[in-house]
Every structure is written in structure tokens, then in C-alpha cells.
A and B are shown apart, each in its own frame.
Chain A
Amino acid sequence: MALLDAVWVNVGSWFLFVFGLVTPLYLIFGYIGLTGFRDISRYEEHHTFYYRLNPLTKIIFTIVLTFVVAVTAWSIDLVIGLVVLSTYLTLKRGLRRLALGSALVFASVIGLAWYYATQTPYGLLMYAFYHICVASVSATPQPPSAAWMALFTPVWQWASYFTILGYQPVLTTQGLLYGMQVSTRAGVVLISSLILIMTSTPSAILRTLGRLKLPVVLIFALVVGMRTVPRIFDTLDTAVKVQFMRGYGAKANKVTRVFYLFGGVLTSIVPAMTFLFRGARNTAISADTRAFRAYKQRTFLKPFTFSKGDYVFFAIIAGLVALAVFSNLYGFGRAIPYSAVGSSCGATSTA
């Protein structure tokens, strides 16, 4: 019986370990892939709601959403995230972008939640859930005391050697909830950030930031960066395909192919970097021939206006703020203090 238990614990632990590690990786490199990243990080012309909004409205939306999800319970964050994600259907090639966005966010949330769920020290969970301060939180996983475990709901007992990986001895419901609180917050911000990227041209963002009186050279570098992100994925994709054509990963099957792809990406970083940096000269010449920086202030051909859609969106943003207020009033505020992340109660001090 003891042997059966040991086998069960070991097999189950490894299954969960591989799930937490491989699921995000498979989604990222197996499903999304480099072309998926390119598609989700670049603008494509279209004429639905988001595309008609002023980029400033979308930036304000992201900022407000960042605060709303920071002060509400993870379940509300999840609902907000799903609602915003569903609006991806209105984008150009909406179904594909919804699928890509879902995969990216799911991978991020699973990856982050799993990390915090398995590795957050019990001392932090004690502080986060029960506001009980622990003098010092050891970086090395410690077996929980019986008094502590009475407060936690155990879900899975890891094989003992998993502490070497930084895992806490027992996976608890509180650990999972803690992971969800941290990860859903990050996931929602990621979803809203991608809307700005996919529905605004870099030049529209440049105009908006120019109106905010940011230095034009900084905006220029920023816009070059925005345009480069999808090109990086494109270049990496080409570099990886060339490696595959040369026979790299020829013996890969469906399961191992994702790992070869991952390896191909890693070995392509420096060549891709060199290739894109070499092309920088053309971009610079192009900008200089259009008299970039000839004057300190730039002029604007298009007026900076807010449309009816922007005002509708401001109303939605106001609704989100109201949701945050009511959530907190009715007990759906952030039950788990985010401030506990990476710290104990501050009992140890040298300052």
C-alpha cells in the first residue's frame, strides 16, 4: 500500500510539474508560434469600433483597467478579462486574433499562477490570507507546521524532493488563489495593451504622444520599437525555417517539434538582431530625407480630435471605475493583498 502511495505521489507530482511547465510553452511555441506573435503585435487596417478611437482613449482605458483589476477580486478580474478578450472578435481577422490572444493570455496566466501557487512560501500566504505576520520568510521551502496546515486547504502533497525545485511541500487552495490573484491582474492588462497595438497605427500613437509634449526623438525611438516587435517575430520565423530547411529537427515528431522550434528561436536571436540592426541605416536615411528633426517642434496635418466613439468609451471606462468601487463596497475587493508579493510583514529591518 505504501509503495502504491509512493508511486501515486511521484507520478502525480511529475504530471502536475510537466503540466505547469509544458502547457504555457506548448501554447506559446506550438500553437501561437512566431507568425502568431507577429499577427498579434502589429496593426492591420480595419474600420470597426476600436479602430476609430483616438489612441489616447485606449491608453487611458489601459491605465484605468490596470487600477481596476488591482483593487478587485480575481474572479472579477477574470470576468473583465474575458469580456475584453471577446471584443477581439471585432478586430480584423477577429477569430484568429481571439484565438491567439486567448492562448497568449492563458499561457501567461497559467505560467504565472502556477509559479506563485507552487512556490509562494507559507509565511506569505499566512500574511496574505490571515494577516498573521511571520518574522522571517525563508527562501528555502520549509515543511508547514500542523497549526499552519489547519488554516490551509491542502490540494496535493508533492514528492519530497520537489522542494529542490523551489516547490512548497504541499500545494494548497490558498496558494492557487494567490496565484490567480496575481496572474489574472497581469493577464487583463496584457489583453487591453494588445488592443492598443493591434488597432492603432504607430504614426497615430506618435501623433498622440506628440500632443502630450513628449520629446520627439523619444517618440521616434518608441515608434521604431513598436514597428520592430512584429518584424522581430517575422525575422525569427524566417531564421528558424532556414534552420529547419538545413535539416535541424529533421527527426522531430509532433511532440518534440515544439522543443526544436524553441531551440531554433534561441539560436536565431543574435543573427536576427544583427540583421535588423543592419537595416537600421535605411530607416534613418528614410527619416532624414523627410527632414526629421529639422525643427524642434513637429507640425500636425491631422487634427487631434475625440469622436463620439471616444465619449462612449469614456462612459465604459467610468463604468469600470464604478464597478471597482461597488466591488469593494460589497466585499468583492482584492481580498489578497498584492503588497504581500515578495515580502513578509517587514519585520526584519536594517534601515
Chain B
Amino acid sequence: MGFNGIDGSLNQVGQIPWEYVAGYFIVALVIAFFLGKKTGGLGSFTTLDFVYIGIGVAFAVVWQWFIGAFLGGFLPGEVGQYINLGYIGGQLITMMVIAALVRKVGVGTTSFVVYSFLSDIFHYGFGGEPMYFIYEGLTYGLILDLTIAATGGNIFGVKSSMKASAEATATSGSGGSSNKLLALMIVEGAIVGFLFAFPDPIIYSAFFGPFINGSKVNWETIYATLTRFIISGIPAGALGGIIANRVSRAIGQ
């Protein structure tokens, strides 16, 4: 057992070559650095942003370990393999809410690093770190950051919704979302849900699992898991997009 319980296996049968994974993380780091440089990085974050991250991450941990984990037991085996309630509520939807509240590049990576830390304190212990910080931050977190960058900070149509509400209020109309905005929330959310389906089966199961725990790689299982995550992730992400927009507007952020 190597440093901090990291097995260090790099040549398991079926394991993705470490050069590919290293290449991904180097590219991810360059993208994160470039985006951070362009947008001011964490320096542009206000104290309120960090409070949002802290509160949101606490919700993710409570959902993942204290509610979703037990709720999942009610789902029949085959359904339960498609719908991982802990992951959908904790890592996907709650993190989307945080992203919608802060809407600055870097919030995804930061939130997932803090989430990983808080999960270690409440549930996992710190074994395998810092690999989980890196893995979660630069996969799931980076996906959220890239979505924010791609939407110019208007993730899940939050800015547009607020603008529409303000205009409707000024003209004494109703402040509801238009169909176009609703479609935007759903589509963006679905894209995030789709992209979130990839890190666990591909990067974790086929690289970090063997690297950290010495677990074996089974590509048949990986493809099956990926398919299930995509099938459940797209509607869950779409729902998350709507929830993230609504919570953000309710808070007036």
C-alpha cells in the first residue's frame, strides 16, 4: 500500500494507460488556469460566493450520505442501477444549484474539492487523498465551469430569467419563465447530466479505482454503467436545470 493508501497500480488489465489520464488532467488544468486567468479566478469571488459553496456542499453531503443512501434501498435492483439517488441529488442537482447561484468560472472545481473534503470528514476518512480532490474537481467540477464559461455566466438561463422577471414586473405583467427559457434550462441541464455520466465509469472505474484501491477493470461493467448513467443523467440533469434556476431566482441571486 503506497502513500495514503493509494495502491498505485498502473498496469492492471484493461486499465486506461496513465499517459492518457495524465494528458487529460494536464489539459484540464491548463483550461482551468486559462479560464481562471481570463475571469479573475477565485480572486473574483466574493465572500458570499464562498458561503453559497459551503452551504450547498453541506446539502450535497447530507443528501448523499444521510438521505439518498437510504432512499436508494427502496428502488428495485435493476431500477436502482439506473437511478443512483445519492449521486443524482448530491453531486448532480445540488452542485447545479451552487453553480446557478455563483455563476463564476471556478465554482465547479472549488465546490467539488470542498465537497470531497467534507465527505472525507463526515464519511470516508481521508484515505486516497489527494487523488479524490483532483479527480472530482477536474472532472465534474470542470464540466460545470466549462458550462458557465460557454454560457457566458448565464448558466441554466438564470440571468435571462431574472431579466425577464424584472421586465415583466416593470410592465406589471407576470414574472413567469417563457417557454424558451424553460427549454434553455432543460437543454443545458440535460447536457450537464449527460457529461456527468462519463467521469465515474470511465475515469474512476477504468483508472482511479485500480490506481487507488487496486480494483479490477471490467469494460463490460463500465459500458453498462455508462449507459445507465447517461439514461438517468439526462432527465435528472434537465430537472436539475429547472430546480437550479428556480432556487437561484427565489434567493434573488
**Chain A residues within 8 Å of B, Cβ to Cβ:** 20-21, 24-25, 28, 37, 41, 59, 62-63, 65-67, 70-71, 107-108, 111, 115, 119, 136-137, 139, 141, 164-167, 186, 189-190, 192-194, 196-197, 215, 217-218, 220-229, 231-233, 265-266, 269-270, 273-274, 276-278, 280-281, 283-284, 287-288, 292-293, 338-351
Contact = CB atoms under 8 A, between A and B. Distances in A.
B114 interface: yes
Interface in B175-223: 205-206, 209, 213-221
B40 to A, nearest CB: 13
A337 to B, nearest CB: 8
The size bracket of the interface on B is: 35 or more
25 contacts: A66-B127, A67-B1, A111-B70, A137-B218, A193-B121, A193-B125, A218-B117, A221-B51, A225-B53, A225-B54, A225-B55, A228-B59, A232-B58, A269-B63, A280-B52, A284-B46, A342-B209, A343-B215, A343-B217, A344-B221, A346-B12, A347-B13, A348-B220, A349-B13, A351-B16
B171 interface: no
Contact of A59 (B13, B69, B81, B126): B126
A305 to B, nearest CB: 22
Contact of A344 (B12, B71, B218): B218
Contact of A345 (B5, B58, B67, B216): B216
B14 interface: yes
A346 B13 contact: yes
B106 to A, nearest CB: 10
A226 B232 CA distance: 30
B24 interface: no
B87 interface: no
B243 interface: yes
B131 to A, nearest CB: 14
B69 A111 contact: yes
Contact of A166 (B51, B80, B97): B80
B77 A164 contact: yes
Secondary structure of the A contact surface, majority rule? helix
A346 B110 CA distance: 34
A215 B67 CA distance: 30
Secondary structure at the B interface, as helix, strand, loop or mixed, is helix
Contacts of B73: 20-21, 24-25, 111, 115
A161 to B, nearest CB: 11
B48 interface: yes
B220 A136 contact: yes
A165 B214 contact: no
A137 B221 CA distance: 8
Contact of B55 (A41, A63, A276, A342): A276
A265 B71 CA distance: 11
Contact of A348 (B58, B113, B218, B247): B218
Cβ-closest 8 pairs across A and B: A166-B77, A224-B54, A349-B14, A66-B125, A228-B58, A346-B216, A284-B48, A343-B216
Given A21-B73, A284-B47, A166 B78 contact: yes
Contacts of A226: 58, 118, 121
Contacts of A220: 47, 50, 54
A147 B119 CA distance: 43
B170 interface: no
Nearest to A114: B73
B1, B89, B120, B217: most-surrounded residue (chain A CB, <10 A): B217
